[in-house]
Amino acid sequence: MPDEGFQEKSEAPTPKRRSKAREEGDVAKSTEVNNVLILLVGIMALRIAGPWMMREMVGVFRQATRMIGEPPSEMADLLLYLKQTIAHTIRVLMPFALCTLAVGLFANYIQIGFLLSAKPLEPKLDKINPLKGIQRMFALRSVVEALKSVLKIIIIAAVAYATIKGDYDKFLQLPDASVGTIWLFLLDMAFKVIFRIILVLIILAILDYGYQRYEHEKKLKMTKEEIKEETKQMEGDPEVKRRVRSLQREMARRRMMQEVPKATVVVTNPTYIAIALQYEPDSMATPRVVAKGKRQIARRIKDVAAEHAIPIVEDKPLARAMYDRVEPGDDIPLEFFAAVAEILAYVYRLQNRTAA
């Protein structure tokens, strides 16, 4: 027999579960998307600004060469040169670094939106537990990540090989070319290989993002028992709520029964339904319902009416018609005026005879 304590996580995660996971930094994110966007924008930036960066850095190296050949006599001059060299290098590389940083932030934003959470940085004993570490090494997710890395390397190598093989004839002509031509050809070939690899990586990134979303959704799934527990925490224990509603109904019935002695007449079905009506000609424009009920409550209404000498009149059609239309405290609807007026007239005649 299956383990009764085991429950399959087959229920979709609740908004509270998703919100809690997001607060803890547990979101569906693919590092492949970040890597491919950073690589793509970085290559495009190098393609556009590469010549300028190369000229600037060549100038720095030439000045360094001159400094080595003719070192300054004063330490202050050497420190000033080092400071200028570092500042110039930073000025050249800073736009590229800021561009890469911006792309990395953008890649995260399009995947998970704006999120700041320090929970992933908090120390956890599970992270330093050797047994947990071994389990993570051989977990399905780790195996998938390893296979994904191997597959990516194979695909990249295949794309690079196919691109280079396509221009193999041009490689044979390089020995007779000038240094500048060889340099330009190698740069062009490198960019061609990289852009083709990027196209493949974009496809892999899209597939990986879909897989990460699937795994994240699977991890967030809940059992029926977890759904019940969360509902209890948010809305209260259903048993307690049922008990509270039962007490509220009982209190409402007691208040209603306290109004029965004020009734002028009780209309019955005769045993199934009882509706207590009150009418004071001097203070009321229309009769009002003070109590109603079926079965046991109807019997209690009639018992209270009998104790207080309130007339009980049997009128099956009227009792049935009014029961679904009126509630305690309501004035009777217009269509019941004639039937109720006849009953009240009968009650008044009965009371006059009794008084005489």
* Strands laid side by side in the 265-268 sheet: 288-294, 273-278, 265-268, 312-314
Which residues does the chain have with pLDDT short of 50?
A: 1-5, 356
Using CA atoms, how far apart are residues 32 and 212, in angstroms rounded to an integer?
10
Three-state secondary structure string covering the chain: CCCCCCCCCCECCCHHHHHHHHHCCCCCCCHHHHHHHHHHHHHHHHHHHHHHHHHHHHHHHHHHHHHHHCCCCCHHHHHHHHHHHHHHHHHHHHHHHHHHHHHHHHHHHHHHCCCCCCHHHCCCHHHHCHHHHHHHHCCHHHHHHHHHHHHHHHHHHHHHHHHHHHCHHHHHCHHHCCHHHHHHHHHHHHHHHHHHHHHHHHHHHHHHHHHHHHHHHHHHCECHHHHHHHHHHHHCCHHHHHHHHHHHHHHHHHHHHHHHHHCCEEEECCCCEEEEEECCCCCCCCCEEEEEEECHHHHHHHHHHHHCCCCEEECHHHHHHHHCCCCCCCECCHHHHHHHHHHHHHHHHHHHHHHC
Strands 312-314, 265-268: parallel, antiparallel or unpaired by DSSP?
parallel
For position 138, what pLDDT does the model report?
A: 58
pTM for the whole thing? 0.53
Q: Where are the domains of the chain?
A: 15-231, 259-355
Fold of the domain spanning 259-355: name from scop (3.40.1690)
Residue found under tokens 């556009």? 48
- Hey, how many other C-beta atoms are within 10 angstroms of the C-beta on 227? 15
Using CA atoms, how far apart are residues 11 and 227, in angstroms rounded to an integer?
8
For position 25, what pLDDT does the model report?
A: 76
For position 184, what pLDDT does the model report?
A: 79
For position 50, what pLDDT does the model report?
A: 75
Using CA atoms, how far apart are residues 87 and 81, in angstroms rounded to an integer?
10
For position 148, what pLDDT does the model report?
A: 81
Does residue 270 have a cis peptide bond before it, meaning omega lies within 30 degrees of 0?
yes
For position 115, what pLDDT does the model report?
A: 75
